Chain A
Amino acid sequence: MKDINGGKLHKYVLSYLYLAPSLIVIIIFLLYPLFNSFRYSFFQWDGVGRMSFVAITNYIGIFKDAKFWISFRANLVYILFFSFIPTLFGLIVSSVVARANIRGVRIFRTIFFTPQVIASVAVGTIFGWIYAPQFGVVNQVLDLVGLESFQHAWLGSSATAPVAVGFIGVWLWTGFCIIIFVAGIQKIDEDFYASAQLDGANSVQQFFHITLPALKYEIVVVIIMTMIRALSTNVFGIVSAATGGAFGTRPISLYAYQLAFVQHDIGYASSVVAVLAVIVFVISGLSMRIGERE
């Protein structure tokens, strides 16, 4: 330890000792399982017997699997409702309210964020009742306003169920988008708007020429973040609680879960997981690229 090399080695060991606890649990309980998800996807396996290598057969199977594509379609609907629509609503609302110097902003901010701290199964359970065919909230409201003819088993048919689940996403994410965009707009120099007004630009023109370009970064971040939620964790719990995955609402993640833990088709389930993981990683990779550029 006395000579220079020994000191250096000592320092390196020390650095890794500090990093080790975190690094070890991440490698053993996240990275190694992720690697295994990809590895299993090349095998046929029921989880008990022998694993037999089948190369890319599972992936070819996905292409021909109608159930997978129904789930894929559900996820696309969720991307529309969890990501694009809240972003659009957020832009509209924030551009109207952000520059109006409103008092009590903190209270609205607090309220708009509350859906974020609720377990997704709890969200799904509450909306399961709101949408219920008998004694459900939506149908009761329709009854009260004299629109009984529009009453419907909202979660009980493929025509309405995916969209009904989608609306949960609008509820969940619009407030979040509003707050992010309000913060972004408040960073814009007020002089831009003042001089645009002098040039005779109306508020719609101001929105398209000043607000929208200035919010480019926030918009991309919000869309990507909500897209990832619409593809993974968020919807798994919500759908499990609200419909159990029936009537075209089952997302890819829940399909993979049922393949693995109900049908014990471990290899095929892993290939479905792998496809989902790759989609999410590509989207996350894009977001980091954009994040670095700023």
Chain B
Amino acid sequence: MMRNLRARVTHLFLYVFLIVIAFIVLLPFFIMLLGSFREHIDIIIRGPLALPKIWHIENYYDVLFKYRFGMFFRNTFYITAPTVLVSLIFAIMAAYSLVFLELPLRKLMVLLSTVLGVMIASEFIMIPLYRLMNTLKLLDTYTAAILPQLAMSAAFSTLILRSFFLGLPRDLIDAALVDGATNWRILWSILVPIAKPAIITSGALTTVWTWNSYIIPLVLIPTPSKDPLAVGLLLFQGTYTIDIPLTMTGTVVTALPMLLFYLFFQRHIIRGLTKGAVD
């Protein structure tokens, strides 16, 4: 009885402990969200922590239409969607070749198309990319931001898909080959349905990274009207730094889509981020 009570108290204590940590993690999001519904003058008078007296939903209207976040949002979508879709198709094909086909120089190809690709951060290549896109006459287009992001995403997804394919039995392919199926058929009608979890994990993570990417569009798309949200948010800050609620509204517009996306795909995103260490 006594033991039981002690165990319960310990349990309760641990819950409180975890809830406090969870609260600290979520606090900046609450601050952002509540701030976005207020008025700047209200923050000056009643301080940053007060609840909104009147919920200023019109902040969202202003930010989306007057301050062009609607346009930034559209640009982000135009950059993210093709990047993720095309990189998945490229990665599925590449991983198939790396695992199941007779590929001379396989080891080198694995290195080039996965490991090296994921090691290269945007800032390592930002300067030559600017020159390259200038030469290709692509500077200031969505394509300029898409191509490097596509390459990074393809490398990452190939890495994930390759390790998934390596775990599959070879007989699966050989049996289908004996039945006269072509590689193309085998890949798209046998392997892709099996690999769905790995494909969703790759797609979910590359979506988050592309949506949030900042350096590549900052360097390669100098015209603000073509920039995605991450760049737009800083441009807005630079121009209207005084207005806290509008800045927070812009931050919500930038961050909320990925927060919702995360709620839908959390299992896949966590598995991908932890390289399978969790679940």
**What residues of chain A have their CB less than 8 Å away from a CB belonging to chain B?**
8, 11-12, 14-16, 18-19, 21-23, 25-34, 36-37, 40, 47, 93, 96-97, 100, 102, 107-123, 125-130, 132, 135-137, 140-141, 143-144, 171, 174-176, 178-180, 183-184, 218, 221, 232-233, 236-237, 240-241, 253, 256-257, 260-261, 266, 269-270, 273, 276-277, 280-281, 284, 288
Given A102-B18, A119-B214, A277-B124; A30-B151 close (CB under 8 Å):
yes
Stretch touching chain A among B54-62, B166-174, B259-267: B259-267
Nearest Cβ distance between residue B259 and chain A, in whole angstroms?
7
Given A19-B98, A122-B233, A141-B49; A110-B266 close (CB under 8 Å):
yes
Contact B47 A140 (CB under 8 A): yes
Chain B, Cβ-Cβ closest to A228:
B121
Residues from 91 to 130 in B contacting A, C-beta threshold 8 Å: 91, 93-94, 96-98, 101-104, 109, 112-113, 115-117, 119-130
Nearest Cβ distance between residue A100 and chain B, in whole angstroms?
5
Chain B, Cβ-Cβ closest to A113:
B270
Give the interface size class of chain B: 35 or more
Contact A121 B230 (CB under 8 A): yes
Nearest 10 CB-CB pairs, A to B? A36-B128, A18-B97, A119-B212, A33-B125, A22-B94, A33-B128, A15-B101, A253-B123, A22-B90, A232-B121
What per-residue 1/0 map shows which CB atoms of B209-251 lie under 8 Å from chain A? 0011011000100000000011101100100000010011011
New A-B contacts (6) at CB < 8 Å, excluding given A31-B120, A114-B25, A144-B49:
A34-B124, A117-B212, A122-B230, A221-B277, A240-B234, A276-B123
Residues of B contacting A284 in the complex (Cβ-Cβ under 8 angstroms) = 119
Q: How far is the CA of A12 from the CA of B101 in the complex (A)?
A: 8
Contact B125 A34 (CB under 8 A): yes
Give the residue among B25, B131, B237, B250 with the most A Cβ atoms within 10 A: B25
Contact B269 A126 (CB under 8 A): no
Residues of A contacting B49 in the complex (Cβ-Cβ under 8 angstroms) = 137, 140-141, 144
Given A114-B262, A119-B230, A281-B119; A183-B274 close (CB under 8 Å):
yes
Contact B112 A27 (CB under 8 A): yes
Residues of A contacting B15 in the complex (Cβ-Cβ under 8 angstroms) = 102
Given A18-B94, A18-B101; A26-B258 close (CB under 8 Å):
no
Residues from 38 to 67 in B contacting A, C-beta threshold 8 Å: 43-44, 47-49
Q: Which listed residue, B97, B117, B248, B273, touches A129 by the CB 8 Å rule?
A: B248
Residues of A contacting B116 in the complex (Cβ-Cβ under 8 angstroms) = 26, 30-31
Contact A21 B148 (CB under 8 A): no
Nearest Cβ distance between residue B64 and chain A, in whole angstroms?
16
14 A–B contacts, CB within 8 A, in A order: A18-B183, A19-B109, A25-B150, A33-B132, A34-B128, A37-B128, A96-B17, A100-B10, A100-B11, A108-B21, A108-B22, A128-B237, A183-B274, A184-B277
Contact B112 A256 (CB under 8 A): no
Cβ of B176 < 8 Å from any Cβ of A?
no
Nearest Cβ distance between residue A186 and chain B, in whole angstroms?
10
Contact B112 A31 (CB under 8 A): yes
Residues of A contacting B22 in the complex (Cβ-Cβ under 8 angstroms) = 107-108, 111-112
Given A29-B148, A37-B128, A130-B28; A23-B112 close (CB under 8 Å):
yes
Residues of A contacting B24 in the complex (Cβ-Cβ under 8 angstroms) = 171
Residues of A contacting B96 in the complex (Cβ-Cβ under 8 angstroms) = 18
Residues from 5 to 23 in B contacting A, C-beta threshold 8 Å: 10-11, 14-15, 17-18, 21-22
